[in-house]
Structure 1
Amino acid sequence: MEYADDIAQRHVEVPHRLDAQQLGIPRAAQIAYAPVQLDEEDLEYLSESGDERSAAVEVPGFAPRGPLTAANNLRRPRPAPSGPTMETTRFTKKPKVEAVGGSGTRGRVLDSDFPREKRGAVKGSQHHFRCLISSDAPFPNTDLATEFCREAWGKACKDQGIDMEFGPLVVSMLTDRAPQIRGEIKIKARTLVPSYYKLLDKNSKADAQTIRARVEMLKDNEAFVHENPEERTGRYKHPIIQAVINETWYSSQRDEGVEYSEYFSEKVAFNVGGRRKSGFGIPLVTIALVLTAVQCALDEWATGQRSGVEFSEKTYGPVFEHHLSKLDTLKEKMADMEIVERIQSQLLDGARWVYINILS
């Protein structure tokens, strides 16, 4: 509950605009979060995920992701896993993603269902899996979800230097983390949307008809992705994108964007002062997922009063693919201007700025 109250009501510094004269270090802006009554579902996500983060993990030989193209329910191009292979780790028969009884509520598999000496790998595999969902495929099909489980488990076992079987219990435990991380992203977006899009006045009040009209304007032709939604300028530069990224993956020194940074560092290159600059940026998959969560949060205000909308794969899987396709298309069409690459780089700079200047 304390964590939920903190997210819903605290004031934080969120960088949302980069200053080129400061070598890409963004200017911080004080953002006041509008208090939001969290649903029982929201509190369940938060209580399950907590705020714990395991020790930092080095992934030897990791190379950032290469160029991307949208493909429904397909994994984005990534380097080969550095964790154990079939030859180095014992596996049971190929598991199906089915519910396997655990000791948790509604039969969920908990960390305590595994031997105490193995729980470091269990916790690490959860973080790896959540990062794969956040940066590769937020709504994976059954086969891809199982592949993610295998990779996450293999990396975690290698990190811990242990040899442990991979089977249905692991799959059941890890696949629960997919809706968990999606739910967390939606909660962050829900908390930020009222203030960032001026749905409510300074007293957290507004006329329902006014809110409804504003939401319609924001969703019309995806105006909400623009820095200036009214003028439709600054596509993919609305500060809420940076804010959701920061709050989800960079709000503490133990967040996954900090400790598992390799998942959120996609290789990009663009010209600066006539010279080619190579660097890293937030993955397009992550940006598209954030936009999808923001759209879901806006949908909750469609009637002028907030009502819960489930962030389901059936409804928002196609929305995610749409946003990802639009990002890919813009990146391809504007390749000579390198607009998308610069946005990716700026978003990562903004997230790192929070870690260096606020959290350190």
Structure 2
Amino acid sequence: MRELYDSSPYQTDQRLPRKVRDSKGRVAAHDYEDVVQQLIKYAIGDFRSRLASYDAYPDRVTQVSWAKEAWKEACKYHETKMAFNSDIIQMITRRTSHLTSEVKAKVRPLVESIYGFESSARESVKSCNRQLAQQLKHKFGLCYRSLGDKKQKVPRSGLFQTKLTQKAANLVWYRNKKDEGIVFAKYFTPFAIPAMALCYTAAECCIDEWADGEHIDISFLGDEYKEVYAKHLANLNKFNLRTKDHGILDAIQKEINDVGRIHAKAEPIDVADDDCLSDDKIQNAIEEFQK
């Protein structure tokens, strides 16, 4: 298994990461010299962004592959050539469970405030909590902006247009200009479908915690929620495919990123004029077409 973490034969222009102190227990970033600490920090951000945007539950081989790619990106960003070792790769891949746990922790208070769960000893409140949890779980009710009203024959509305995804994204990826949604904008422009699926999966876990009327902690680390994530991801992809001509999900993804950037107080992403055709070239094409 160890060869999975090891780098390919070191290039002659790469140097080895140097530790400045002995590790006490598990190896940590601060055990290394400053330049390596910077590389580790950047690589972890890149790796977490891949998890959010590609797959929150990758297999071990994929985790290691992404960690190595993230290290290369870190070296490129800091304009240095540094080899990695197995300890560094494991340090990066440990962030897999860290991300899912963080998303759940940020989503939990949102679920309570947006959907209206309440802590109370009164049986009437507990009954309301149970009914609400059932409504939200039934046929992906949590993915709608409004649950509607069966008695009044008002249908659900606003599929995938919930407050939850935007608020969760702001808290996890767009807190400020140094957050991952800004620094690693290439993974979040537009906001990725797998990241939306992760937000809904975390929300479903938080809703499950209210299923009996009272709040009880439920672990988000097991395989059960990996399956829930797969269902939400499949749902989003199916919706995207069926509505592609209307651009519904495209617009939602773009809005989450745009609003997130505003929340982080970052500049909007514009295409630089240098990256576009010049006015002269366009005019030449018009004249050529008219001949």
TM-score by length of 1: 0.64
Please report how far the alpha carbon of residue 196 of structure 1 lies from its aligned counterpart in structure 2 after TM superposition: 0.2
Residue 283 of structure 1: aligned partner: 192
Q: Return structure 1 stretches of 4+ with deviation > 6 angstroms.
A: 85-89, 203-206
Distance 2:240 2:12 in 1: 39
- 1:175-203, CA deviations, whole angstroms, 9 ceiling, x for partnerless residues? 111111111110111011111001128x9
Q: Which residue of 2 aligns with 1:27?
A: none
Give the alignment of 1:123-142 within 5 angstroms. Answer: 123-142=41-60
Are 2:232 and 1:314 equivalent residues in the alignment?
A: no
- Cα 1:208–1:243, aligned 2, differ >3 Å: closer, same or farther? same
Letter in 2 for 1:337: H
Q: How does 1:167-182 map to 2 (within 5 A)?
A: 167-182=85-100
CA distance in 1, matches of 2:229, 2:116: 24
1:350 aligns with 2:274: no
Task: State the match for 2:166 in structure 1.
Answer: 242
- Alignment partners' CA distance in 2, 1:198 and 1:330: 27
Match of 2:3 in 1: none
Q: 2:105 aligns with which of 173, 187, 197?
A: 187
Structure 1 residues 116-155: aligned runs within 5 Å = 116-155=34-73
The alpha carbon displacement at 1:152 in A equals: 0.8
- Tell which structure's C-alpha radius of gyration is larger: 2
Contact 2:101 2:221 in 1 (8 A): no
Q: CA deviation at 1:168?
A: 1.2
Which residue identity does 1:148 align to in structure 2?
Answer: W
Identity of aligned residues (%): 27
Higher helix share: 2
| 249 and 118 in structure 1: CA distance in 2 versus 1, 3 angstrom threshold | same
Query: What's the offset of the Cα at 1:91?
Result: 10
Letter in 1 for 2:50: L
Q: Residue 234 of structure 1: SS of its match in structure 2?
A: strand
Distance, in Å, in 1 between the alignment partners of 2:251 and 2:175 is 23
1:88-137 deviation digits (Å, cap 9, x = unpaired):
97599xxxxxxxxx946xx4331122223321111111111111111111
- Quote the Cα distance in structure 2 between the aligned partners of 1:143 and 1:112: 26
CA distance in 2, matches of 1:86, 1:235: 51
Cα pair distance change 1:118/1:222, threshold 3 Å: same
* 1:22-67 per-position Cα deviation (integer Å, ceiling 9, x unaligned): xxxxxxxxxxxxxxxxxxxxxxxxxxxxxxxxxxxxxxxxxxxxxx
Counterpart Cα distance in 2 of 1:103 and 1:211: 48
Q: Please, which of 124, 129, 143 is the counterpart of residue 211 of structure 1? A: 129
Q: Cα distance, 1:339 vs. partner?
A: 1.4
Is the CA contact 1:226–1:238 (under 8 Å) kept in the aligned structure 2?
A: yes
Corresponding letter in the other structure for 1:186: K
Asked if the contact 2:197–2:233 (Cα under 8 Å) also holds between the matched residues in 1, the reply is yes
Aligned to 2:184: 260
Mapped contact 1:121–1:153 kept (Cα < 8 A): yes
Report the CA distance between 1:353 and its aligned residue.
2.5
Count of equivalent residues: 248
TM-score, normalised relative to structure 2: 0.78
Q: Secondary structure of the residue that 1:245 maps to in structure 2?
A: helix
Mapped to 2, the partners of 1:210 and 1:325 lie a distance apart of 30
Question: Which residue of structure 2 aligns with residue 69 of structure 1?
Answer: none
Q: C-alpha root-mean-square deviation of aligned residues, in Å?
A: 2.8
Which amino acid is the alignment partner of residue 91 of structure 2? M
